[in-house]
Amino acid sequence: MTVDLISPSWPAAKNVRAYSTTRLGGVSCAPYNGLNLGLHVGDERSTVVKNRQLLADKMQLNRQPVWLQQTHSNRVVELEGVNSEQDQVADILQADGCYTNKPKAVCTVMTADCLPLLLSNTQGSWVAAVHAGWRGLLAGIIQRSIESYPGKSSDVIAWMGPAISANNFEVGPEVRDQFMAVNQANSRAFSASLKRAKYLCDIYELARVVMAPYGVTSYGGDYCTFEDLSLFYSYRRDGQTGRMASLIWMDNSLC
Question: Are 153 and 147 within 8 A, CB to CB?
Answer: yes
List for the chain the helix, strand, coil content (%; round to 5): 30, 25, 45
- How far is Cα 182 from Cα 194, in angstroms, rounded to an integer? 25
pLDDT greater than 70 at residue 90 = no
What pLDDT is stored for residue 255 in this prediction? 55
Q: Which of 15-19, 78-82, 238-242 has the lowest mean pLDDT?
A: 78-82
Q: What is the pTM of this model?
A: 0.93
172-203-194 Cα angle (round to 5)? 45
For residue 182, report the phi and psi dihedrals to the nearest 5 degrees. Answer: -80, -45
* Beta carbons within 8 Å of 139's beta carbon, 6+ residues apart: 72, 73, 74
Residue 87 in this model has a pLDDT that exceeds 80: no
Residue 91: per-residue pLDDT: 60
Q: State the amino acid at position 65 in one-letter form.
A: P
CATH topology (fold) of 5-163+216-254:
CNF1/YfiH-like putative cysteine hydrolases (3.60.140)
* pLDDT confidence of residue 253: 78
- How confident is the model over 150-179, as a mean pLDDT? 97
pLDDT in tens, 168-218: 999 999 999 999 999 999 999 999 987 778 999 999 999 999 999 999 999
Give the C-alpha distances (Å, rounded to integers) separating 239 from 71, 101, 216, 233, 235: 17, 36, 33, 10, 5
- Sequence-distant (6+) residues with CB within 8 A of 230 are none
Give CA–CA dist 23/75, Å, rounded: 27
